[in-house]
Amino acid sequence: METDAIAPFFEVIEEIKAAGGDVYKFCYQCGKCDAVCPWNNVRNFSIRKIIREAAFGLTEIESEDIWRCTTCGNCPEKCPRGVKQIDLGVSLRKLASTYDVFPASARPARAVRGSLTTEGNPLNEARAKRADWAKDLSVKPFAEGTEVLFFGCCYLSYDPRMKKVAQATARILNKAGVDFGILGSSESCCGESIRKTGAEDIYKGLARENIKAFIDHGVRKIVVSSPHCYETFKNEYSDFMVHFEVVHMTQFLSELIRDGKLELTGTYDRPVTYHDPCYLGRHNDIYDAPREMLQQVPGLTLREMADVRNNSLCCGGGGGRVWMDTPKGERFSDLRLDQARDAGAEVLVTACPYCITMFEDSRLNLEYEDVLEIKDITEIIAEVI
């Protein structure tokens, strides 16, 4: 039987390499990436096919498939050849961005680029209002000599639901006597998510703005609420030859409790399950601190879901998909809420603003308002101090 040979498109291959995607050469098509990809819980999707197409320069940059990856980290963790699937996926998005090719589902991610450039956040909110969440709270502007910078992230600064998390966090830090401050309008988005959509130049601009603000204010230690900020400040800003001590809030509060600086005096008599955010767990191996903190809460019963720790089911919001359109029936967050319900939990707790945003949407879509509450871990701690 005769088959038509496909000649590689060397020009496209070189463009993919130039965008940082030459990791495809390590792939030997075992298919383990497809086996663990959360997309295959809701539809057929093959990252293996995307890698193979890239190897021959056959990538369809107008395809929605190159925008599906949530950068959850499942496939690179399981890959026996060290193929960096996320790097390849980002390189393809860079290529699509270069030619201004965006399918309908990805256009919202393109739209946030203007807001990031002008106002330093993806929510089209005024930079001048970034610290408004802290009004009527004892939160001071960060000044040189302050022990800790609390960097709340864009969602905690602007989103009505997530502002409650920022306010709960500030109350906890004040209760523990932590010397902390915020930068307010001097902050910009960390840039992690927009970078994953291929907008490298915008990411670099945001990073330089933040690094300048940190240095100008004498910042040494940064405590963050978002795992995406944690990933960026700790692991990616080092490319700019700077180093700051970066701690996620779950680590910081767990240490305060362990050292006796934060006493949990109330009770929380409810069954709770904890969701491991991808960028806290798989990307940065922080699994124990949030669980240790929850186990210290009097009365709280911790129940684990079916997929936990390094096998945690992605919420679907990473890789810039928190801004993109996902059809009903293809939302990982819907599946996660079902897992929480099946575990017998009344409260689904996590430690990531993207996860909470996705879960709150699913809670409404599934009409689970009377079935589950969605909480950030700091909101529970704030209730029992």
Higher pLDDT, 59 or 157: 157
Q: Domain tally for the chain? A: 3
Task: For the chain, give the percent of residues with pLDDT over 90.
Answer: 88
Q: Averaged over 128-147, what is the pLDDT?
A: 96
Give the helix/strand (H/E) hosting 205: helix 200-217
Residue 46 lies in a domain: yes
Give the integer Cα–Cα distance in Å for 349 and 340. Answer: 10
How many C-beta neighbours within 10 Å does residue 61 have? Answer: 19
One domain for residues 117 and 251: yes
User: Using an 8 Å Cβ cutoff, are 86 and 94 in contact?
Assistant: no
Domain limits at 51? 10-101
- The CATH number of whichever domain residue 185 belongs to comes to 3.40.50
Question: Is the residue at 312 inside a domain?
Answer: yes
Domain final position from 255, 274, 309: 255
If asked whether residues 150 and 226 sit together in one domain, one would say yes
How far apart are the C-alpha atoms of 193 and 70, rounded to whole Å?
10
Percent of the chain with pLDDT over 70: 96
- Domain shared by 206 and 116, yes or no: yes
Q: Is the pLDDT of residue 16 over 80?
A: no
Instruction: Confirm whether 297 is domain-assigned.
Output: yes
Distance in angstroms between the alpha carbons of the first and the last residue of the chain: 74
pLDDT value of residue 1: 46
Residue 2: inside a domain: no
**Last residue of one domain, picked from the residues 255, 279, 307:** 255
* DSSP secondary structure of 313-375: PP-S-TTTGGGS---TT--HHHHHHHHHHHTT-SEEEES-HHHHHHHHHHHHHTT-TTT-EEE
Considering the entire predicted model, what is its pTM? 0.94
What is the spatial order of strands in the sheet that 148-151 belongs to?
140-141, 180-182, 148-151, 221-224, 245-248
Domain identity same for 208 and 163: yes
pLDDT in tens, 291-335: 999 999 999 999 999 999 999 999 999 999 999 989 999 999 999
Given pLDDT bands bounded at 50, 70 and 90, which one contains residue 15? confident
Please give the backbone phi and psi of residue 350, each rounded to the nearest 5 degrees, phi first: -145, -170
- Answer yes or no: is 25 within a domain: yes
Report the Cα 139 to chain-centroid distance in Å: 25
Tell me how far apart the alpha carbons of residues 140 and 142 are, in angstroms, rounded to a whole number. Answer: 6
Burial classification of residue 367, based on how many CB atoms lie within 10 Å of its CB (0-12 exposed, 13-18 middle, 19 or more buried): exposed
Residue 1 resides in a domain: no
Distance of CA 273 to the CA centre of its chain: 19
247 and 343 share a domain? no
Q: For residue 383, report the phi and psi dihedrals to the nearest 5 degrees.
A: -75, -20
Mean pLDDT, the chain, rounded, equals: 94
Residues 93, 67: Cα–Cα separation, whole Å: 7
3-state helix, strand, coil in the chain (%, to 5): 50, 10, 40
Contact 81, 11 (CB under 8 A): no
**What pLDDT, on a 0 to 100 scale, did the predictor assign at position 213?**
98
125 and 65 belong to one structural domain: no
What is the distance, to the nearest Å, from the Cα of residue 25 to the centroid of all Cα atoms in its chain?
A: 28
- For position 304, which CATH number holds? 3.40.50.10700
Whether 93 and 127 map to the same domain: the answer is: no
Would you say residue 343 lies in a domain? yes
270 and 367: one domain?
A: yes
* Nearest of 184, 275, 279, 203 to residue 234 by alpha carbon: 279
Say if residue 277 is in the same domain as residue 248.
no
Q: Alpha-carbon distance 66 to 246, whole Å? A: 31
**Strands, E, within 94-170: which ranges?**
140-141, 148-151
Domain boundary among 255, 281, 309: 255
Read off the pLDDT of residues 189-239 as tens digits, 9 standing for 90 and up: 999 999 999 999 999 999 999 999 999 999 999 999 999 999 999 999 999
For residues 329 and 353, membership in a common domain is answered with: yes
Residue type, 139: V
Q: Mark whether 75 and 20 lie in a shared domain.
A: yes
* Structural contact between residues 213 and 189, judged by C-beta atoms closer than 8 angstroms: no
Residue 302 CA to residue 273 CA, distance in Å, equals: 6
Say yes or no: 317 and 183 in one domain: no
Does 128 reside within a domain? yes
Pairwise CA distance, residues 36 & 331, whole Å: 16
How far apart CA 3 and CA 219 sit, in angstroms, is 62
Q: What is the pLDDT of residue 7?
A: 52
